[in-house]
Chain A
Amino acid sequence: RKEVEQDPGPFNVPEGATVAFNCTYSNSASQSFFWYRQDCRKEPKLLMSVYSSGNEDGRFTAQLNRASQYISLLIRDSKLSDSATYLCVVNRETGGYNKLIFGAGTRLAVHP
């Protein structure tokens, strides 16, 4: 079983739609959590960190449920430019080093 699991999608949604992605992680020692965005044939870039109380950045809302070990990302009012793969990432410290564990990603395609 992968340490970080995501639905690969693709999620095909029209512009203006609200879409939600979920991610589960298996290691309860995980300390911090992120969503990265990766455009086609490009490098991953940090979209947002995920805080325990939940956090919002414009149209994007991230939630964390430590008890159930899942993380979610909600995108409101989808734009064509939101089309990308969204990577769920978990940070776990081991031996004094912060190890990032990446999910395989959920692909989002927003159409007119």
Chain B
Amino acid sequence: NAGVTQTPKFRVLKTGQSMTLLCAQDMNHEYMYWYRQDPGMGLRLIHYSVGEGTTAKGEVPDGYNVSRLKKQNFLLGLESAAPSQTSVYFCASSPLGTGAYNEQFFGPGTRLTVL
């Protein structure tokens, strides 16, 4: 099992450009998440999905869109990149259920720089 994979690993954009980050998981997890991690701050949730065809806003959704057309894939889109979106982006997944002990499995991250 590959677990959670992310593409690309690195990307440099110019302000105003668009791009899509792809996350894929092979663990048959229902829940998927997109986070961003910035220096001195904890991971912050951008958007999440509780199943195929569903998406919901997290803590910092502005400037991002997501889609979950297939259960195993969760896409994060930046329509018009801004320097404030320079960050490391992590995708994660977790099994179905709202039990109290809910481990999330993370992908290796995408380092995005917006000039």
B41 A91 Cβ-Cβ under 8 A: no
**B101-A100 in contact (CB<8A):** no
Contact at B102–A101, with CB atoms within 8 Å?
no
* A12 adjacent to chain B (CB < 8 Å): no
Interface extent on B, as a size class? 20 to 34
Which listed residue, B44, B45, B48, B102, touches A32 by the CB 8 Å rule? B102
- For chain A residues 64-112, which have a beta carbon within 8 Å of chain B? 87, 91, 93, 96-105
Q: Is B2 an interface residue (CB 8 A)?
A: no
In the complex, the answer to whether B109 meets A97 with C-beta atoms within 8 Å is no
- Measured between alpha carbons, how far is A32 from B99 in the docked complex, in Å? 10
SS class, residues of chain B in contact with chain A: loop
Q: In the assembled complex, which residues on chain B have CB atoms less than 8 Å from the CB atom of A4? A: 42
Is A42 in the interface zone, CB < 8 Å from B? Answer: yes
Residues of chain B with a CB closer than 8 A to A93's CB: 98, 100
B42 touches A96 (CB 8 A): no
Q: Which residues of A contact B101 (CB under 8 A)?
A: 32, 49, 91
A98 touches B98 (CB 8 A): yes
Across the interface, which residues of A come within 8 angstroms of B100, CB to CB?
A: 31-32, 91, 93, 98
User: Which chain B residues lie closer than 8 Å to A100 at the CB level?
Assistant: 45, 102, 104
Asked, given contacts A44-B90, A46-B103, whether A101 binds B108 with beta carbons under 8 Å apart, the answer is: no
**0/1 string, B45-85, CB within 8 A of A gives 1:** 10010100000100000000000000000000000000000
* Residues of chain A with a CB closer than 8 A to B43's CB: 44, 87, 102
> How far does the alpha carbon of A101 sit from the alpha carbon of B50 in the complex, in Å?
17
Q: Is A43 a contact of B108 with CB atoms below 8 Å? A: yes
Interface residues of A (CB under 8 A from B): 2, 4, 8, 31-32, 34, 41-46, 49, 87, 91, 93, 96-105
- 28 cross-chain CB contacts under 8 A: A2-B42, A8-B40, A31-B100, A32-B101, A42-B108, A43-B90, A43-B107, A43-B108, A43-B109, A44-B90, A44-B106, A45-B106, A87-B42, A91-B100, A96-B98, A97-B50, A97-B56, A98-B94, A98-B99, A99-B45, A100-B45, A100-B102, A100-B104, A101-B42, A103-B42, A104-B40, A104-B41, A105-B42
